[in-house]
Structure 1
Amino acid sequence: MNAVLLAVLCMLILSVMRVHVVISLIIGSFVGGLCSDLTLKETIDAFNTGISNGASIALSYALLGAFAVAISRSGLPQALADIAIKQLKTPSKKNKIKWLLIIIIGLVSISSQNVIPIHIAFIPLLIPPLLYVMSKLSLDRRMIACVMAFGLITPYMFLPIGFGNIFLEQILLKNISNAGLNVEHINVMEAMAIPALGMFIGLLIAIFFSYRKPRKYQEKMIEVKHAPEMTKRSLFISIATIILSFVIQLYTGSMILGALIGFICFLATGIVKWDEADNAFNDGLKMMAMIGFVMISAQGFAEVLKQTNEISTLVMHSAEIFGGNKVMASFTLMVIGLIITLGIGSSFSTVPIIAVIFVPLCVQLGFSPLATVCLIGASGAIGDAGAPPSDTILATTAGLNMDGQHDHIRDSVIPTFIHFNIPLLFAGWIGSLVL
């Protein structure tokens, strides 16, 4: 069997068996390397070369985690929740509060990927205090799960800012370029517009059709322990720091520098106490460490696959199977991307794995560079929603299930899979054929 195919299958099988994805990637790397013409030393060297390429991405996540913790210390997330709870005292405003709540959670989720790049860190801070509000409004939490999933995924797969800069520029375009395709003049937003539209259609279906009816929950007030109190000073500092961090990020193109300056501002103004700085930074590292290590391991995995020199053989045989049929090939590649991401749980880690296989195959089948970027970007992003081990979905469940009334599989995994993976599958398929 082809060493590349064997490595991918090994990684997938181990992931499905609930072996940690980092271990699955490392074992898959060595299986692929040793089943090819590579020696043990050559396999280790290739893996080490690959993981060095993911160092900057991991450092970005570490600093963003620290920035997220600093924002939480300002009391801003808790203040947003308190405002919504106070509004419940006016019964006539319930419908207004419902839509305001949906919009706020959606905007915060979207902002967590770019304007305030803290990823899933806002969920345990903002969502638990709002569960009482949701219960009073009989708001279906499956809808909220879809709203958060949309906000946490769509911005990074379409907007090259914040986490989108990492996914689109540092991972997607970089790995496609490393695989041999010139994407220097590609407009990545143009390439990912159709897949993003598929995600938006799924969101509209979830809000206005699937989960629009009231759903009863027990009304339990969740008390957030050690929630910091928001003051006018901390509010002003938080907003000013967030704007400054965003401007620096846009001007320099560096999330690392933006997050670092943001953390330093919180430290210098006393929002984060000097004697708490180490704990705040360490908490941020812990929060983002797993994601960073998965992406580093995926880079090593991809490098080993490239060094086996068996990708070209796999591409040639695959092209023969498709017989030049781009319609069949595109749909099959999207399904492969879905399977891999469902197993790994991270779209950021899927792209380095599939790029080394998909790029030569797309070139062989005659896909344009723009269509290739669309296909690989959508194939990587698909499965982040609806994957049981996805950090996005796990965090969503953790927030919505603080009172024990939201099931991970039935209320988070299945709804997000149906409303995002299925539309994204067809949107990515169509996009790769029309671009």
Structure 2
Amino acid sequence: MNAVVIAVLVMIVLSLMRIHVVIALIAGAIVGGLTAGLSIVETIEIFTSGLGANASVALSYGMLGAFAVGISFTGLPNLMVKGAILIVGREGDTRLKTMTKVLLLFVITTIACFSQNIVPVHIAFIPILIPPLLKVFNELALDRRAVAIALTFGLKAPYILIPAGFGLIFHDIVVTNMQESGMEVTMAMVPSAMLLPVLGMVIGLLFAIFFTYRKNRNYQQKELATNQETPSYNYSFPGIAVALLAIITVFVFQIQTDSMIFGALTGLIILYIYFGYLHLTKKFSLNQSDELMTSGMKMLAFIGFVMITAGGFAEVIRETGHVDLLVDSTSGWIGNNQALAAIIMLIIGLFITMGIGSSFATIPIIAAIFVPLAAAIGFSPMATIALIGTAGALGDAGSPASDSTLGPTAGLNADGQHHHIWDTCIPTFLHFNIPLLIFGWIAAVIL
């Protein structure tokens, strides 16, 4: 059996059984290594060597968690809730609530799209924007699975289609690796080749908003995952001004330094100054501010541990050598059947990306093998781009180890009412991977 398939299946099955995703990743890595013929010692050594790959990302999330909870104590969330109540009404007109929910979902989608291209901060905006909005979602009885869909769409579709920001990096990886594998392609070809797959994602987004998750879903009004004894404050002009200044500063510094860590640090410094002011007015103690920041880090500790573990899992998958075997074993019986070849190549990409959790890391793995295989079968360069781009994107949505799912979960589960697997991974898998498979296959066949 192929070690990649076995490792990913073990990880997925354990996750679906509600085994913690960190444990599922470790178990999948061990089983995959043993299946490939590695000893338990070798597997553990390889796994350990890969843990540092995502360490900086994990620290970034911890800092952003502290910042997000700090923002919640400036009074900004209470102001947003009051504004939502004024728009919707506490009893609420059903039609007005529905319109407000749809508008809110499209605004979130737009902001997420901007985070990939126009203001390339990736998921850094989620712990800042989403936790304060949870009370608004609860007031609207908005199904958070729809929000997860909207966020994941915005984190994926823009970089697949648009050659700017993270999209420029993704397109460059596709083109560079295809050229190195012997196929002449240009950057200008990628958006045209990826248009149909992204259209599939748009259909999945609309289907989720207007059909799958259109009904109300009730949540309890809970405080964020902070210390129960830490006081909260009503909004005030100084608090709102400080919150907005801190948020803008984080975005600006993140772009200037290209570091989420230092971006969050500047925001925390501003909040500490504000908390110091509250201390002087005897409204807040410095010990309480430390407890607040620690609680915020705990809120995103989950995503940090998963990202670190995913680095080890991905390293084991690569070192088994079974990624090449997975592709090679299919090429012998495909023949010249382009329709069959396209669907098999896309499914292979799905399995690899589900395990690694990164479209960007999957492209170099599959391009070296897919390019000569596609050329031998007779696929055009445009069709090959569609195959490789879609195969890389497949699995990023729905993977328990992907930041496209971990980011939304970290924000939506700030009050402990959103499950990573059942409320983020499975909904995004169904609504994006299925359309990507269908429309990616169509693009490969017709281009």
The change in CA–CA distance for 1:362 and 1:282 in structure 2 (over 3 A counts) is farther
Counterpart for residue 266 of structure 1:
271
The change in CA–CA distance for 1:152 and 1:249 in structure 2 (over 3 A counts) is same
Moved more, 112-121 or 317-326: 112-121
Counterpart for residue 15 of structure 1:
15
Decide which of 295, 300, 303 is 1:283's aligned counterpart.
Answer: 295
The change in CA–CA distance for 1:39 and 1:410 in structure 2 (over 3 A counts) is closer
The change in CA–CA distance for 1:4 and 1:201 in structure 2 (over 3 A counts) is closer
Moved more, 299-308 or 84-93: 84-93
Given that 1:128 and 1:399 are in contact with CA atoms closer than 8 Å, whether structure 2 keeps it comes out as no
2:76 & 2:39 partners in 1: Cα distance?
A: 54
Structure 1 position 362 matched with structure 2 position 370: yes
Counterpart for residue 202 of structure 1:
204
Structure 1 position 241 matched with structure 2 position 249: no
Counterpart for residue 28 of structure 1:
28
Aligned residue for 2:357, secondary structure, equals helix
Counterpart for residue 293 of structure 1:
305
Counterpart for residue 281 of structure 2:
none
Given that 1:371 and 1:434 are in contact with CA atoms closer than 8 Å, whether structure 2 keeps it comes out as no
Amino acid at match of 2:313: F
The change in CA–CA distance for 1:358 and 1:433 in structure 2 (over 3 A counts) is farther
Amino acid at match of 1:379: L
Structure 1 position 53 matched with structure 2 position 62: no
Given that 2:363 and 2:389 are in contact with CA atoms closer than 8 Å, whether structure 1 keeps it comes out as no
Counterpart for residue 151 of structure 2:
152
Aligned residue for 1:381, secondary structure, equals coil
Structure 1 position 320 matched with structure 2 position 320: no
Aligned residue for 1:269, secondary structure, equals helix
Counterpart for residue 137 of structure 1:
none
The change in CA–CA distance for 1:230 and 1:330 in structure 2 (over 3 A counts) is farther
Counterpart for residue 394 of structure 2:
379
Counterpart for residue 227 of structure 2:
none
Structure 1 position 230 matched with structure 2 position 238: no
1:267 & 1:319 partners in 2: Cα distance?
A: 59
Counterpart for residue 67 of structure 1:
67
* Deviation of the 1:122 alpha carbon: 5.0
Structure 1 unaligned runs (5+)?
135-140
Given that 1:33 and 1:43 are in contact with CA atoms closer than 8 Å, whether structure 2 keeps it comes out as yes
CA deviation vs aligned residue, 1:252-277 (integer Å, no higher than 9, x gap): 32222222222222222338964334
Moved more, 180-189 or 317-326: 180-189
Structure 2 unaligned runs (5+)?
225-230, 279-283
* Deviation of the 1:395 alpha carbon: 7.0
1:53 & 1:413 partners in 2: Cα distance?
A: 23
Amino acid at match of 2:240: L
CA deviation vs aligned residue, 1:230-287 (integer Å, no higher than 9, x gap): 2222222222222222122223322222222222222223389643343233223222
CA deviation vs aligned residue, 1:185-218 (integer Å, no higher than 9, x gap): 8689947655443333233344456676xx6889
1:40 & 1:421 partners in 2: Cα distance?
A: 33
* Aligned pairs, number: 408
Given that 2:51 and 2:308 are in contact with CA atoms closer than 8 Å, whether structure 1 keeps it comes out as yes
CA deviation vs aligned residue, 1:128-179 (integer Å, no higher than 9, x gap): 3553445xxxxxx45x642x1233102221446xxx9889969x959x97xx
Aligned residue for 2:234, secondary structure, equals coil
1:92 & 1:305 partners in 2: Cα distance?
A: 51
The change in CA–CA distance for 1:355 and 1:340 in structure 2 (over 3 A counts) is same
Moved more, 233-242 or 104-113: 104-113
Counterpart for residue 422 of structure 1:
434
CA deviation vs aligned residue, 1:291-319 (integer Å, no higher than 9, x gap): 22222222212222322334333322122
1:291 & 1:410 partners in 2: Cα distance?
A: 16
2:303 & 2:167 partners in 1: Cα distance?
A: 13
How large is the RMSD of aligned CA atoms in angstroms? Answer: 4.8
Structure 1 position 131 matched with structure 2 position 105: no
Counterpart for residue 138 of structure 1:
none
Aligned residue for 2:321, secondary structure, equals coil
* Deviation of the 1:320 alpha carbon: 1.7
How does the TM-score come out when normalised to structure 1? 0.72
Aligned residue for 2:19, secondary structure, equals coil
* Deviation of the 1:82 alpha carbon: 0.8
How does the TM-score come out when normalised to structure 2? 0.70
